[in-house]
Amino acid sequence: MPNLYHPYHNVLETCRRYQATLVVVTKTRTKEQIETLYQMGQRIFGENRVQELLEKVPELPLDIEWHLIGHLQTNKVKAVLPYVACIQSLDRLKLWQSIQQEAQRLDKKIKCMLQIRIARESTKQGWAFEELEAVLETGIQHKLKNVLLCGVMGIASLTEDIHQVRQEMRLLRGHYDQLKINYFPDDPEFNTVSMGMSGDYRIALEEGSTMIRVGSILFP
Ligand SMILES: *Cc1c(COP(=O)(O)O)cnc(C)c1O
């Protein structure tokens, strides 16, 4: 029976108002929980652990677009590449080169996002912005042709301080705008700012997110 009061409708409606894309994050969720959202029309899902992704993919419909949103070890690139539409967690040169090598071998192009560190806690993964700029200055994005860069991704601090969260998101949007102007001005594919989770997706949308990654609030 369709549940009209499912939180999915609310999040989706908010997302549409900002013309943003919703990625439903499925970590720790069962096949049945994911299928419920699939039946409500959702097709883009995100997983942060490779092992969980590989277990879920064969159990769920083929037309799901899977995004890897968590840390990727270079030795797992080979295993995930055939199954994902996008790797949002491209956070270092070594990984970029591994993805290129494997994508080339598979004769496939793979969408990736540059994960940029914006949270104050130094534990969060991601490029330091200056380091990323230095890498892009070398022009490597034109050489690693099987990796299609489609934007940036970031995770704001997990804090009650919404001013800090807003600042971090504004920073990421600013980084995106700067990269777009400096390195991808004529590349229509580079168009995504992936930021915002259950606790902060409204702030993220206000600050210019074009893709939110929401999990917990969608699984009541
Ligand atoms: C878990 C996770 C999310 C979703 O978090 P929720 O708080 O459950 O909405 C988004 N992005 C990443 C990278 C995650 O690991």
For 123, other C-beta atoms within 10 Å of its C-beta total 6
Residue 214 parent element (H or E): strand 211-214
pLDDT of residue 33 exceeding 90: yes
Residue 105 CA to residue 82 CA, distance in Å, equals: 11
Residues paired with residue 114 on neighbouring β-strands, in sequence order: 90, 152
Residue 74 CA to residue 76 CA, distance in Å, equals: 5
Q: Is 6 in the pocket of ligand 1 (CB under 6 A)?
A: no
- How far does the centroid of ligand 1 lie from the alpha carbon of residue 25, in Å? 6
Taking the mean position of all CA atoms in its chain, how far away is CA 16? 18
Average pLDDT over residues 126-154: 97
Q: How many helices (H) and strands (E) does the chain have?
A: 9, 8
Burial letters 172-185, b for 16+ CB under 10 A, else e: bbebbeebbeebbe
The predicted structure's pLDDT at residue 121: 74
- How far does the centroid of ligand 1 lie from the alpha carbon of residue 186, in Å? 31
pLDDT of residue 162 exceeding 70: yes
Q: Is 151 in the pocket of ligand 1 (CB under 6 A)?
A: no
The predicted structure's pLDDT at residue 3: 58
Pocket test for ligand 1, best of 21, 27, 218 (most atoms within 8 A of CB): 27
Average pLDDT over residues 94-103: 98
The predicted structure's pLDDT at residue 193: 99
Choose the weakest-confidence range: 18-27, 121-130, 177-186: 121-130
- How far does the centroid of ligand 1 lie from the alpha carbon of residue 138, in Å? 32
Atom number of ligand 1 nearest to Cα 27: 1
The predicted structure's pLDDT at residue 83: 97
Question: Is the distance from CB of 109 to CB of 144 less than 8 angstroms?
Answer: no
Residue 113 CA to residue 86 CA, distance in Å, equals: 8
Return mean pLDDT, the chain: 96
- How far does the centroid of ligand 1 lie from the alpha carbon of residue 45, in Å? 11
